[in-house]
Each structure stands twice: as C-alpha cells, then as structure tokens.
Amino acid sequence: MTRTRKKFPFFLWHRRLGIIALVLVLILSITGIILNHTESFKLDETTVESELLLSWYGLNPEGKPISFKFKDIIISQWDEQLFFNTDIISHNSQLLRGATRLNDIIIVAFDNTILLLETNGSIIEQARINIDNIINIGTDGKHVYVKNSAGDIFVSDEQIINWKKTQHNHIVWATATKPDHALRQQLKQVYRGQGLSLERVILDLHSGRLFNQRWGIYIMDASAVIMIWLGLSGTWIWWSRNKKIRTKRHYQKHHQSVHTRKD
C-alpha cells in the first residue's frame, strides 16, 4: 500500500516567512525608534571603535605600514596612503621602496616613480622615471641613487630628473623601520578621518546598507513585500478556514435534521 504524499500546507509558508519578517521588522522598528531620538542618544557625536565594523566600512588600512625615518621626519605608507610624519600627503598604488634626504629635498621612491618633497612635507614634483622595479633609494651626500630588482644602480643628475647606470659603491641605502605602537595608532586615526559615527551605523542597519551597499536595501524591501504577502495570505487562510467551518456546520445541521425526520 503506497502512501500518498501530502501537499505542503500553505499555512506553513505563512508561518516560516512570518518568522523571517519578524526579524527584519524588529530591526526596522528598533532602529527607527533609536533614530527618532538621535539628539537624545547623541548618536552623531558617538564614534564607533569596533575594529570589525571599521574594517567592514573600509576605514581600517589593510596590511602593515612601511616607514623610513631620518632625524625628525618619518615617511610612511599604509594601504596606498603616503604619510609625512602623521599627515596624509599623497595616494599612490605603487609600493613605497624607500626615502632619503639630500640637502633640503626629500626624495621618495616607488616602483618606477620618484616623489620630491620639501622638508615641511609640501610636494615639489612627482615624476615617472625610466627605471622599473626599483627596490631601494640612497645617497652619498652628493647624488641620489636607486637600485632595481636586477641589482643595477642608477645615479641622478643634479635636478634629480635624468638617471644613468653607475658602479658607485659608497651609498647609504634607505632602511625601513618598524613603526612603534603610538605611530601606528596615529596613522590609523588619520587614515580613518572623522571616523565612523554610531548614527551612520544605525542608519545603514535601518536601510539594510549595513549588509551590503548595493543590494542591502533590497533585504529591507523584501521585509515589506513579505509583510504584504503575510497580510494577504493571512486573510486567505482566515477566509478558507471560516468557509470550511461554515460548510461543516451546515453539513452537521442538515445531518441532524435528516435524523430528526427519520425518528
């Protein structure tokens, strides 16, 4: 004897979608109440310190900082941001390869680019040079030198514009230093800018953008659609059950009347 498979009851979908909608509606309701009292809770003045949330918003630099220090000047790069001491002065997707100082000019080397700075951090010039795969930069007190990945050494002219190969050996090459904890925290704070306010987080949670900037809003849109569907399906379930009850009562009443006549 084979058992017939029962159809999935409609009301089970109603129940399960109701639970999903409940979670989303709770988020909408609670965040909505909080946002109505932004000034009371001082949401716009409260800064989020959660590393997880800051990373989620892209406000935490990735990787590790690279620093080159000479006297009271520190040139650092962290996640494509170039810092002069603790100020962001430039954005560069190339890797910082070294920094040195010649007289009153600071020369910063990237993969195939040279950046010239004044001692106050002002940018003089940034130019691409005809040397690829630079791995270091140095000076002998008179000229600037760079070394590429093949081990070739190049010396610049006095204007630090044109470069040519050389065999000079008495060069002080730039040496990277590990930023201490205080400097790392300062760089991270500057990288974050004004930081992340609690109001922004709650607004994004309310709108769904916290889940994803592109399609997060559709999650909350889905909750509205589900609520509409629940209302319609609930009405249909109530109507169908009420119809069954009326039919059953009518049948019972008719059945009783037939028995009465027979008696």
Interatomic CA distance for residues 171 and 173, integer angstroms? 6
Number of domains in the chain: 2
Among 192, 217, 245, the domain boundary falls at 192
Q: How confident is the model at residue 251 (pLDDT cuts 50, 70, 90)?
A: low
Residues 149 and 164 in one domain: yes
Residues 134 and 148 in one domain: yes
What sign has the CA pseudo-torsion 33, 39, 42, 48?
Answer: positive
Residues 181 and 210 in one domain: no
Residues 126 and 69 in one domain: yes
Question: Which residues does residue 136 pair with via DSSP β-bridges, in sequence order?
Answer: 147
Asked whether residue 167 is assigned to any structural domain, the reply reads yes
Residues 123 and 168 in one domain: yes
Residues 48 and 155 in one domain: no
Residues 85 and 50 in one domain: no
DSSP string of the chain?
-PPPPPPPPHHHHHHHHHHHHHHHHHHHHHHHHHHTTHHHHTGGGPBP--HHHHHHTT-S--S--EEEEETTEEEEEETTEEEETTEEEEE-SSPP-EEEEETTEEEEE-SSEEEEEETTS-EEEEEE-S--SEEEEEE-SS-EEEEETTS-EEEE-TTS--EEEE-----EE--EE---HHHHHHHHHHHHTT--BHHHHHHHHHHTTTT-TTTHHHHHHHHHHHHHHHHHHHHHHHHHHHHHHHHHHHHHHHHHHHHHHH-
Residues 88 and 74 in one domain: yes
Asked whether residue 257 is assigned to any structural domain, the reply reads no
Domain residue limits at 33 = 11-59+193-235
Interatomic CA distance for residues 152 and 136, integer angstroms? 11
Bin 140: left if φ > 0, else alpha if -120 < ψ < 50, else beta. Answer: alpha
Asked whether residue 244 is assigned to any structural domain, the reply reads no
Asked whether residue 261 is assigned to any structural domain, the reply reads no
Could you tell me which of 196, 209, 181 has the C-alpha nearest to residue 59? 196
Residues 119 and 173 in one domain: yes
Among 141, 168, 192, the domain boundary falls at 192
Bin 133: left if φ > 0, else alpha if -120 < ψ < 50, else beta. Answer: left
- Position 118 pLDDT exceeds 90: yes
Asked whether residue 254 is assigned to any structural domain, the reply reads no
Could you tell me which of 87, 86, 82 has the C-alpha nearest to residue 98? 82
First to last CA, the chain: 41
CATH number at residue 116: 2.40.10.480
Residues 198 and 114 in one domain: no
Could you tell me which of 202, 179, 199 has the C-alpha nearest to residue 191? 179
Residues 50 and 131 in one domain: no
Among 134, 163, 192, the domain boundary falls at 192
Residue range 139-197, pLDDT digits in tens: 998 899 999 999 999 999 888 888 999 987 789 999 999 899 999 999 998 998 888 88
Residues 173 and 186 in one domain: yes
Give the pLDDT score at 153: 94
- Position 77 pLDDT exceeds 90: yes
Q: How confident is the model at residue 1 (pLDDT cuts 50, 70, 90)?
A: very low
Asked whether residue 250 is assigned to any structural domain, the reply reads no
Q: How far is CA 6 from CA 9, 10, 166, 171, in A?
A: 8, 12, 86, 85
Asked whether residue 6 is assigned to any structural domain, the reply reads no
Asked whether residue 4 is assigned to any structural domain, the reply reads no
Residue range 7-31, pLDDT digits in tens: 546 556 656 666 777 777 788 888 8
